[in-house]
Structure 1
Amino acid sequence: MHTILPFLLAMIAVIVLLNMWATKLQIAYPILLVIAGLLISFIPGLPAVKIDPDLIFFIFLPPLLFDASWSVSFKEMKKWWRIIGSFAFLVVFFTALSVAIVTNHFIPGFTIALGFLLGGIVSPPDAVSTGAITKFVKIPKATSAILEGESLLNDASSLIIFRFALIVIGTGQFIWHEAAVSFLWMIVGGAGIGLLLGWLFVQAHKRLPTDAPSDIALTLIEPYFMYWIAEQLHSSGVLAVVSGGLFMSARRLIFLSSTSRIRAFSVWESFIFILNGIVFLIIGLELPEIVDGLRSQDIPLTTAIKYGVLVTGVLIAARIISSYAAMLATFIFRRNTARNLTSGRSWLLMPLLLGWTGMRGVVSLAAALAIPITLDDGTAFPHRNLILFITFVVILLTLVVQGLTLPYFIKNIPFFNGILNEETEAADRLKMKQGLKLHVYQVLKNKYDNELNGHAGMEKFLQQWEERAKATDDNWMNEKTKVIFIELLESQRQYLTELNKDPKINEEIIRQQLYQIDLEEERLRII
């Protein structure tokens, strides 16, 4: 413990420093973390980083998925659900099938079951990597919504493939009707368990006398409960966390106070940043041990690298082909939806952009490390080290090649720039603020007309309410006016909630304004 703890603290320090460096260089921090982990692993005397395969999913996946479900726009997911569903399920299955066929043909001793196992591992793109890369470039709102929605669901579909492949490898048989029933239960049961637990957690927050620290503590353990209970019932823990997280996210204004929401945002942002950083460092730190495993099985390193490059090429090609197929199907069956998504020749370019955003990362590593070392009969799991090495090569190549070139394509290629012709956020923001000011003015005149008369502070607020914090009168705020102000803030939340039902309004702008309202309420409470 005295050896591991300083090493873990040093890892966090390295993560922070590399993130600052990546921000300065304007590249995605996962790229630097993977390379740094690889370089650090060659330092002599460092303790070996080993994680129990049975715990890797449980440690990292629940909070990462829970946070993603709170960040995604459910409104945008409903808007683009056909394309998101295609990418999350059909594209993942097509990708896994392509990997299974190619590896079975080119890798000696690699069965179709092992190919599907590898395909399930490497098929889901990593939302963290994509988000870190697109932070420095602007992508279309529709593309961003599709990628965020896909990232929530493709993890579940790929891990279902992974689980069934493990069963086939362990038992040597695949019974279709049992697999169909199990698949249905994993999807329906996982979503149902997540919704039920999400409702119970919402009620607990509402009915118990919680404060901000206890609310945040509960949100930290809730995804683990969702995942664990679903897995104990042989359902999908991933879907349970996603469905429960989406349910709770839509009701955050109901069961969390403004204090809890503000503080939870900072806590979760730091927590998820550290978790992601540790995982990407582990990707690099694990490589030397994986290479030693390949040598023990007499697999040349150059041969393993060729296999990794081959699988990476299959993944990129399969995703681009699938992107065009999904867009074509949407264009044929829902022409209006397709026109909303793209216009003119850009519908030919959007699938290419979606196809090139297939960086792999956290989920792929977690799945690969979760492969058991031995089968139930005690024999070594076939080709485990090779699968781990191929996964590492896929993660590294997609992060470096696609991750470094994607910003260049978006910024410098005219075709990609042509995609970014949708309505700017400035127009949405202006519309929201104008409507919000009119709403506040009407509420003040209709409900508090008597209180406004003769009160200098309130009259000033009515005339110039956006600059009320600059008031110099020390008596401008008392308990009565504070109550009115807080009621006005709650009224603004209700207005923004209704405004968010407009499909043309960007939900991210609404969320930013709601966060500012929370900050304003906290400022009022301490006056």
Structure 2
Amino acid sequence: MHYTLLQFLILLFVAFMLILLAQKVKISYPIFLVLAGLGISYIPGIPEMSIDPEVIFLIFLPPLLYEAAWYTSWNDFWKWRRPISLLAFGLVIITSLAVAFITSSMIPGFTLAMGFLVGGIVSPPDAIAATSVLKNITVPKRITTILEGESLVNDASSLIVLRFALAAVITGQFSLSQATTDFFLSTIMGIVIGLAVAHVLYLIHRFLPTTASIDSALTLISPYFMYLAAEQFHYSGVMAVVSGGLFLSYRSHEIFTDGQSRLQAINVWSTLTIILNAFVFILIGLELPIVMAGLEGYSLWEAISYGLIISAVVIVLRIAWIYPVTFIPRWLSKKVREREAHPGWKIPFVIGWAGMRGVVSLAAALSLPITTAANINFPHRNLIIFITFVVILVTLVFQGLTLPYIIKAIKVDEIDPIVPEEQQESTIKLRLLKISLMALEEKYSNEIQGVGLISGLKEELENSLSNASRRLESMECQEIENAEMEAYNDILKDIYKLQRQELHKIRKEKVFSDEVIRKQEMQIDLSDTKIPTGKRIIPVKVKNLKINQ
């Protein structure tokens, strides 16, 4: 047991080193992870690891979906809801249908239900792969918004397709009309349950005296509560996590009232996401030898050819789908033409080529049960997992590595009227300064009598230095430290609270980018964490300290 644990920790460490290498060479780290998973499968003596497929979804999907929902801009999501919906629902269904019919006619022994199973697994692209590829490239904001929004919703829609296809394979019964009704019922009720759980968690964050550590811990268990609550009533746990995550993200300015909670939660989730992604690809590396050894009568080359054909299908189908759903609404609706700038052919092509599959597809494949309800081996389980891995490998490596070169070659330019980021930051800072000064003048006029606006850089530096000197002197005087310092800190806390409220108003105006607003929010959080809390330390006078002014 100790030796196996050591081996696994070494593999996890290697995965982290590969992520660092990917960042160094500016390549999407999921590409390195999928290659690492392939490489692990060829290492002799690697221990076999068996995880109950039923807990794969529970371990990996809720936190990954919640993290994606948390960082999704609701304003941007709602602005581009039409193309996102057509990709996240329309393309998922079309892809599932195409893969179902092709696999059932191409692979001996494959039923239509099993084809839908494969289609549901390989249909959702991975936002992490796409955004990490585009991170170091200047692309129109529309592209990243649509890709992130699509990935958030299509994970839910594809996994619902997977759920019904899995039930059909296990029970041997399938009704299209019943499945359609159950699909919408499962989706809607999943959203309702997710929002209900999110409201309870919101009240806990908002009105109970939580700490930064408790806030972070609550965010970690929140997606599991949402997922399990929906699954308990046989509705979509995935939609519950997505809807609940979007709600709490939109209300984050109210539930994280101090900077320490927000900053700690961001760091915790960044670490968890990296670990989960690395873990899944290590897991496929450990299972690949078993999968390849149990291909159930299919040769390795046959399995590879099936995977390559399905890869070609999902790539071509996505590009073929993206152009009609982009231009047909423009031809039919004058409002769309007036509201959205003409995308040309370049933006749809980049969105179409950025359909890399990733960790959600892999986790879905690994979650397939080992046996059916009749206690017999699940048909073609190893083949399905192997095909999924081939599709992920092809789309991540081939499309992921070529996407930056395609973008540079066709020179995709920004077409939407977007205020430059520097101008947005300056405008937001100005509004925050104004709200802070108004609060000081209206609420603390007695405390700031005699203080005027700083008119120049020299005067600003002199005043800052003078203020630092007075603060140091007050800390050395125990008699006045309590009154002055506590009042000073209370005023700062109140100002930061007002600034967060103003940022929320700015977000609701839907004028500024959510990324810029989050940067300003982080600056406030960082300043907030500098305010001392807890038990006061008795100050000690510092001798022979001279400050030249």
> If the length of structure 1 is used for normalisation, what is the TM-score?
0.92
Q: Which moved more, 1:352-361 or 1:101-110?
A: 101-110
User: Partner residue of 1:249?
Assistant: 249
User: Partner residue of 1:402?
Assistant: 399
SS at match of 1:165: helix
Residues 340 and 416 of structure 2 are in contact (CA less than 8 Å); yes or no, is this contact kept in structure 1?
A: no
Listed as ranges, the gaps of 5+ residues in structure 2 are 473-483, 537-549
User: Partner residue of 1:351?
Assistant: 348
Max Rg structure? 2
Q: Does 1:280 find its partner at 2:281?
A: yes
Q: Take 2:346 and 2:465, find their aligned partners in 1: how far apart are those partners?
A: 48
Residues 253 and 501 of structure 2 are in contact (CA less than 8 Å); yes or no, is this contact kept in structure 1?
A: no
User: Partner residue of 2:378?
Assistant: 381
Q: Does 1:520 find its partner at 2:527?
A: yes
Q: Which moved more, 1:279-288 or 1:39-48?
A: 279-288
Superposed displacement of residue 260, structure 1? 1.2
SS at match of 2:292: helix
Q: Take 1:521 and 1:366, find their aligned partners in 2: how far apart are those partners?
A: 39
User: Partner residue of 1:472?
Assistant: 468
Superposed displacement of residue 133, structure 1? 1.4
User: Partner residue of 1:18?
Assistant: 18
Q: Does 1:307 find its partner at 2:306?
A: yes
Q: Which moved more, 1:517-526 or 1:451-460?
A: 451-460
Q: Take 2:377 and 2:152, find their aligned partners in 1: how far apart are those partners?
A: 33
Residues 189 and 235 of structure 2 are in contact (CA less than 8 Å); yes or no, is this contact kept in structure 1?
A: yes
Aligned residue identity for 2:400: G
Superposed displacement of residue 190, structure 1? 0.5
Superposed displacement of residue 136, structure 1? 1.9
Residues 457 and 471 of structure 1 are in contact (CA less than 8 Å); yes or no, is this contact kept in structure 2?
A: no
Residues 454 and 460 of structure 2 are in contact (CA less than 8 Å); yes or no, is this contact kept in structure 1?
A: no
Residues 453 and 459 of structure 1 are in contact (CA less than 8 Å); yes or no, is this contact kept in structure 2?
A: no
Residues 155 and 360 of structure 2 are in contact (CA less than 8 Å); yes or no, is this contact kept in structure 1?
A: yes
Deviations 1:436-460 (A, max 9, x none): 3333334333443332224699999
SS at match of 2:382: helix
Aligned residue identity for 1:436: L
Aligned residue identity for 1:393: V
Superposed displacement of residue 104, structure 1? 2.2
User: Partner residue of 1:330?
Assistant: 329
Residues 187 and 236 of structure 1 are in contact (CA less than 8 Å); yes or no, is this contact kept in structure 2?
A: yes
Measured at CA, do residues 132 and 234 of structure 1 come closer, stay the same or move farther in structure 2, by a change above 3 Å?
same
Q: Take 1:194 and 1:467, find their aligned partners in 2: how far apart are those partners?
A: 51
Superposed displacement of residue 54, structure 1? 0.6
What is the 5 A alignment of 1:448-487? 448-454=444-450, 464=460, 468=464, 471-475=467-471, 478-487=485-494
Measured at CA, do residues 206 and 503 of structure 1 come closer, stay the same or move farther in structure 2, by a change above 3 Å?
closer
Residues 170 and 375 of structure 1 are in contact (CA less than 8 Å); yes or no, is this contact kept in structure 2?
A: yes
Q: Which moved more, 1:237-246 or 1:127-136?
A: 127-136
Aligned residue identity for 2:140: P
User: Partner residue of 2:543?
Assistant: none
Residues 197 and 244 of structure 2 are in contact (CA less than 8 Å); yes or no, is this contact kept in structure 1?
A: yes
Q: Does 1:112 find its partner at 2:112?
A: yes
SS at match of 2:45: coil
Aligned residue identity for 2:520: Q
Q: Take 2:225 and 2:462, find their aligned partners in 1: how far apart are those partners?
A: 43
User: Partner residue of 1:360?
Assistant: 357
Superposed displacement of residue 350, structure 1? 1.6
Listed as ranges, the gaps of 5+ residues in structure 1 are none
Measured at CA, do residues 69 and 205 of structure 1 come closer, stay the same or move farther in structure 2, by a change above 3 Å?
same
- Say how many residue pairs are matched: 521
What is the 5 A alignment of 1:253-264? 253-258=253-258, 259-264=260-265
User: Partner residue of 2:132?
Assistant: 132
Q: Which moved more, 1:54-63 or 1:176-185?
A: 176-185
Q: Take 2:470 and 2:137, find their aligned partners in 1: how far apart are those partners?
A: 45
Residues 70 and 246 of structure 1 are in contact (CA less than 8 Å); yes or no, is this contact kept in structure 2?
A: yes
User: Partner residue of 1:54?
Assistant: 54
Residues 82 and 330 of structure 1 are in contact (CA less than 8 Å); yes or no, is this contact kept in structure 2?
A: no
Residues 425 and 520 of structure 2 are in contact (CA less than 8 Å); yes or no, is this contact kept in structure 1?
A: no
Superposed displacement of residue 424, structure 1? 3.1
Q: Which moved more, 1:103-112 or 1:20-29?
A: 103-112
Deviations 1:336-369 (A, max 9, x none): 44565443xx432221111111110111111111
SS at match of 2:508: coil
Residues 253 and 504 of structure 2 are in contact (CA less than 8 Å); yes or no, is this contact kept in structure 1?
A: no
Superposed displacement of residue 501, structure 1? 2.0
Superposed displacement of residue 468, structure 1? 4.8
Q: Take 1:524 and 1:513, find their aligned partners in 2: how far apart are those partners?
A: 18
What RMSD over aligned residues (CA atoms) do the two structures have, in Å?
Answer: 2.6
Q: Take 1:385 and 1:469, find their aligned partners in 2: how far apart are those partners?
A: 69
Superposed displacement of residue 177, structure 1? 4.5
Aligned residue identity for 2:508: K
Aligned residue identity for 1:484: I
Q: Take 1:92 and 1:134, find their aligned partners in 2: how far apart are those partners?
A: 23
